[in-house]
Amino acid sequence: MTSFLPADNSAEIERLSAVVAAFRARIDAQPDALFPAHADSLLQLGSLLAERRDIAAALEAVSEAVALYRAMVEVEPASFRVHLASALNNLSNRLDDAGKPEAAAAAGIEAVAEARLALDSRPDQARFVLVSGLINQAGKRMRDGDIQGSFGELAEAVETFKAGGESGQPYLGPMIEALHRSAMTFSEIGMWGEAVDTRRLMVGLFADGPPSAMVHLLALTLQQASLAMAGEDRLDIALTCADESVDLGRLLFDKDPADYKLFLAQALGNQAGRRHQSGDNAGGLDAALEAVNLFHEAVDGDPAAAVPSLILTLGSLAAILSSLGLPDQVAVVEEQRTQLQQTLELLLKGRAG
């Protein structure tokens, strides 16, 4: 059985605690001495204590590290400002853990400011400390309800990341993960414009063109936004999102028909519904018929996924045909829907059995 408890880091905590104690003894003997390794050991110790949820001790260790780096910046700012920025970013997280949001926000703001200053002397190192700080700030703004401010921090983080060129590749995974989490959060709270724009930021991370998975996420979010906007009677936005989702779905399908046939069919089905709602029954009919044809091809490969979407699309097709004054065709489509609904119920019963 897989355990989700944090790994036992007691031995490393004990080792680092001994290192920190040794440095403190040296400082007692040399009060004016500054040891960068001391501050670094404190930061590592603070992170391990935070993993163990020893919040007070973690905050104490990181606060001490920040104080040491402040003293080092006074002596040699070009060398140590970037370290101070990173330590302040760490401190912001530990203050959040300790339930001190105002102090956490202040430390985060200072971390970003110090990282900006460090760009002159340590551009590569400071750039990604700045990215981390901006992402942290974005999260704090989101928790405070400042949605526009949160997206602004994310957008600046992406531009800062992209400015690093090839040197940013080791940080690409965490960057994608941070943007993905943010896009999901925007979606969950119904901020669809920000959710879509955050997906666009993800796509824009790739100078040589995004992988299909990133494009797929953008297209999915556009489709979800389309449905949400239709529910709010914002049909112009709903249709714009639906159209772009189909355009992206076609690009994906052209590259890999087997993997993206079902998605293109779903996007077209959504587009058909939005066009019908917008009064474009002719355009809706074209989209619905294309979607139905693709669904029929996709059913054999994944009936459990294809049949529910096909039923919805046939509902849109029936509504479009009714608006066009074609009752005989409506009856045929409704009969198909009934048969598919029965098939779906059998599929669900088979899975439950």
Per-residue pLDDT tens for 234-269? 999 999 999 999 999 999 999 999 999 999 999 999
In a domain, 9, yes or no: no
The pLDDT, as a whole number, for residue 231 is 94
In a domain, 328, yes or no: yes
CATH of the domain at 278: 1.25.40.10
Q: Nearest to residue 245, comparing CAs of 231, 273, 225?
A: 225
Instruction: Spell out the residues 6+ positions from residue 110 whose beta carbon is closer than 8 angstroms to its own.
Output: 88
In a domain, 152, yes or no: no
Q: Nearest to residue 268, comparing CAs of 251, 249, 252, 254?
A: 249
pTM across the whole model: 0.85
User: Which of 133-147, 175-189, 293-307 shows the lowest mean pLDDT across its residues?
Assistant: 293-307
Euclidean distance between CA atoms 186 and 195, whole angstroms: 5
pLDDT digits (tens, 9 = 90+) for 203-219: 999 988 899 999 999 99
The pLDDT, as a whole number, for residue 309 is 92
Euclidean distance between CA atoms 242 and 267, whole angstroms: 7
Query: pLDDT band at 1, cuts 50/70/90?
Result: very low
Mean per-residue pLDDT, 93-108: 93
Q: Nearest to residue 41, comparing CAs of 25, 18, 57?
A: 18
In a domain, 257, yes or no: yes
Are 80 and 73 a contacting pair, CB within 8 Å? yes
Domain encompassing residue 336: 211-353
Euclidean distance between CA atoms 106 and 101, whole angstroms: 9
User: Which of 23-32, 221-230, 331-340, 341-350 shows the lowest mean pLDDT across its residues?
Assistant: 341-350
Mean per-residue pLDDT, 131-142: 92
The pLDDT, as a whole number, for residue 137 is 92
- SS3 per residue for 127-181: HHHHHHHHHHHHHHHHHCCCHHHHHHHHHHHHHHHHHCHHHHHHHHHHHHHHHHH
The pLDDT, as a whole number, for residue 2 is 39
The pLDDT, as a whole number, for residue 233 is 94
Instruction: Spell out the residues 6+ positions from residue 289 whose beta carbon is closer than 8 angstroms to its own.
Output: 317
In a domain, 243, yes or no: yes
In a domain, 203, yes or no: no
Task: Give φ, ψ of 209 to 5 degrees.
Answer: 100, 135
Average per-residue pLDDT for the chain: 91
Percentage above 70 pLDDT, the chain:
95
Euclidean distance between CA atoms 185 and 144, whole angstroms: 13
Euclidean distance between CA atoms 203 and 29, whole angstroms: 55
Euclidean distance between CA atoms 218 and 202, whole angstroms: 9
The pLDDT, as a whole number, for residue 353 is 52
In a domain, 245, yes or no: yes
Query: Is the predicted pLDDT of residue 347 greater than 80, yes or no?
Result: no
pLDDT digits (tens, 9 = 90+) for 7-26: 568 888 889 888 888 888 88
Mean per-residue pLDDT, 128-156: 92
Q: Identify the DSSP state of 227.
A: H
Task: Give φ, ψ of 121 to 5 degrees.
Answer: -95, -30
In a domain, 58, yes or no: no
Euclidean distance between CA atoms 102 and 349, whole angstroms: 54
Query: Is the predicted pLDDT of residue 110 greater than 70, yes or no?
Result: yes
Task: Give φ, ψ of 6 to 5 degrees.
Answer: -60, 150
Query: Is the predicted pLDDT of residue 320 greater than 70, yes or no?
Result: yes
The pLDDT, as a whole number, for residue 23 is 83
What radius of gyration do the chain's Cα atoms show? Answer: 27
SS3 content of the chain, % helix, strand, coil (to 5): 85, 0, 15
- The number of domains in the chain is 1
The pLDDT, as a whole number, for residue 352 is 55
Euclidean distance between CA atoms 244 and 287, whole angstroms: 13
